Chain A
Amino acid sequence: MCLAIPGQIQRIDDDALRQGTVSFAGVTKEVCLALVPEAEVGDYVIVHVGFAISKVDEQAAKESLSLIEQLSSGQINESPSS
């Protein structure tokens, strides 16, 4: 029940609960977006029990992947000596 997964916002209602549609690789669900007031259509959010609990920070995701890429290329350079 603790599962929380990223999905992309497709629609946001203008009501108190900010209900919207979020797509998880094509499967859509009704989600309450009131807790992520900064999120807009097209953004990715992490959804748990019908509520978006955070907006995915695209920049941070890129940085984290590029760190691993650096590690990977660094190791390739290192490997002949090790």
Chain B
Amino acid sequence: MKYVDEFRDPNAVHVLSREIHRITRHPWTIMEVCGGQTHSIVRYGLDRLLPPAITLIHGPGCPVCVTPIELIDAACQLASLPEVIFCSFGDMLRVPGSHEDLLRVKAQGGDIRIIYSPLDAVGIAQSNPQSQIICFAVGFETTAPAQAMAVLQARRLHLSNFSLLVAHVLVPPAMKAILSSPENRVQGFLAAGHVCSVMGYEMYEPICLRYRVPIVVTGFEPVDILEGVQLVIAQLEEGRHKVDNQYARSVHRSGNLEARKVVDEVFESASRNWRGIGEIPESGLQLRQTFAEFDALRTFQDRIHLSSPANDLESECQSGRILQGIMQPSACSAFGTRCTPDHPLGAPMVSSEGACAAYYRYRHHEVGPGEQ
């Protein structure tokens, strides 16, 4: 496939790996923010092509994993209402809530539909005027324009039976939270390419300056990731800290202005609770007042009981430590035994972009539970 195969070329991978070995003089710890990148790294064994001095740690960039448990609970309650058709991306169905998951609600008769695009949910609203259609709006900046377009389309069609359960999260505030933590080990970042395709990378420039870390906007194929790592190491070895753009074929400095415009029209930033991590100021999106009629939590406020931000930090699942790069999945005592993709204890084992699922899928045969 064009623009995929050439960025998986084993020769280019080899050349970049050699170049990284050549320039590395000191130990460095680099975080890839996005779960899609984590997946590529584990799948292709890219971490094993690096000098032992380089540690890659996996970041919080899986929206499925960080959606707070109280919103999963709200989703389950909404999906159980008889008049509701609940629309969601497939990954969300098996994420455990406090008592149940969406898959169980579906088995008990809840009308839950797996969608590919948020516009599919608008289509369902058009053809089912007697039902209330709720779309579970989960994702980072990459997905926000699609949800915003669905809301604008619903307004254009004068639909009064369409709303969003908004769980959107934003990347830069999470990076700042990681860098401000006393446990922080991250010295450089690979920024998530597709988030930047939408938002650009201007907003990372002040983070580089303030925390003195290099940030390299990076794509998702093996060649992209190794080139991103090489650019971060080059900066670290030279004592520089600025934003580089490895993924120029899809990312401009200001991002996609058209997409940013629709997101800004429909959403505004708000504080958000991240599962396993806690509340991060201004790290989420909510509907603007002018679009309040599309807010499922407002429309159904009398029908559901919204639990207060749940404390899931006590369970055996170490997702918070995994998502902040403090711990590797295979170091979790439940990994591969009590927690597997068939019986996940935590969201990082459910989502295809979750770090635990990636390790289970590609490395489970190598590492016994609890070993690392």
Nearest chain-A residue to B36 (Cβ)? A2
Convert B61-83 into 0s and 1s, putting 1 for each residue whose CB lies closer than 8 angstroms to a CB of A.
11110000000000000000000
| Interface bin, chain B | 35 or more
> B88 CB to closest chain A CB, in angstroms?
10
In chain B, what residue has the closest Cβ to A62?
B249
Q: Which residues of chain B from 33 to 56 have any CB-CB distance to chain A below 8 Å in the complex? A: 34-36
> For the complex, is A41 an interface residue (Cβ under 8 Å from B)?
no
Q: Is the CB of B118 within 8 A of A49?
A: yes
**Minimum CB distance partner of A30 in chain B:** B117
**Using a CB-CB cutoff of 8 Å, which residues 46-77 of chain A contact chain B?**
46, 48-51, 53-54, 56-58, 60-61, 63-65, 68, 71-72, 75
Chain A residues, CB < 8 A from B145: 35, 51, 53
Please determine whether A72 and B89 come into contact, CB atoms closer than 8 angstroms: no
**What is the interface residue range for chain A against chain B?**
35 or more
Which residues B91-119 have CB closer than 8 A to chain A? 91-92, 116-119
Cβ of B179 within 8 Å of any chain A Cβ, yes or no, is no
User: Judging by beta carbons under 8 Å apart, are A17 and B153 in contact?
Assistant: yes
**Shortest CB distance A33–B (Å):** 10
Residue B32 at the chain A interface, CB threshold 8 Å: no
In the complex, what residue of chain A is closest to B226 when comparing beta carbons? A68
Interchain CB contact under 8 A, B89 and A1: yes
Q: Do B146 and A50 touch (CB < 8 A)?
A: yes
Query: Which of A2, A5, A8, A56 interacts with B142 by CB under 8 Å?
Result: A2
Most chain A CB within 10 A, of B12, B62, B120, B246, is at B12
Is B89 a contact partner of A49 (Cβ separation < 8 A)? yes
From 1 to 23 in chain A, residues with beta carbon under 8 angstroms from any chain B beta carbon are 1-6, 8, 16-17
How far is A36 from B152 in the complex, measured between Cα atoms in Å?
Answer: 17
Contact of B11 among A35, A50, A72 (CB under 8 A): A72
Interchain CB contact (< 8 A) of A2 among B1, B35, B256, B262: B35
**Residue B367 CB within 8 A of the other chain:** no
Check B149 against A34 for contact (C-beta < 8 Å).
yes
B153: chain A residues within 8 A (beta carbon): 17
Chain A residue nearest to B34 (CB atoms) is: A2
Q: Give the docked Cα–Cα distance between A25 and B5 (Å).
A: 11
Chain A residues with CB below 8 A from B256, complex form: 35-36, 53-54
| A63, B146: Cβ atoms closer than 8 Å | no
Q: Mark out the residues of chain B between 130 and 169 whose CB falls within 8 Å of any chain A CB in the assembled complex.
A: 138-140, 142-143, 145-146, 149, 153, 156
Q: Are B197 and A46 in contact (CB under 8 A)?
A: yes
Residues from chain B with Cβ under 8 Å of A54 in the complex: 197-198, 250-251, 256
B19 interface contact, C-beta 8 A: yes
Which residues on the A side are within 8 Å of B223 (C-beta)? 68
Interface status of A37 (Cβ within 8 A of chain B): yes
Given A1-B138, A2-B62, A72-B15, also A46-B194 (CB < 8 A): yes
Are B1 and A49 within 8 A (Cβ)? no
**Are B19 and A57 in touch, CB under 8 angstroms?**
no
A53 and B3 form a contact (CB under 8 A): no
B324 beta carbon closer than 8 Å to chain A: no
Q: List 13 A-B contacts (CB under 8 A).
A: A1-B138, A3-B36, A35-B149, A36-B256, A46-B197, A49-B116, A49-B118, A54-B256, A60-B249, A64-B246, A64-B248, A68-B223, A68-B227
- Partner-A contacts on B (CB < 8 A): 1-4, 6, 11-12, 15-16, 18-19, 34-36, 61-64, 89-92, 116-120, 138-140, 142-143, 145-146, 149, 153, 156, 194, 197-198, 220, 223, 227, 246, 248-251, 256, 258-259, 262, 351-353
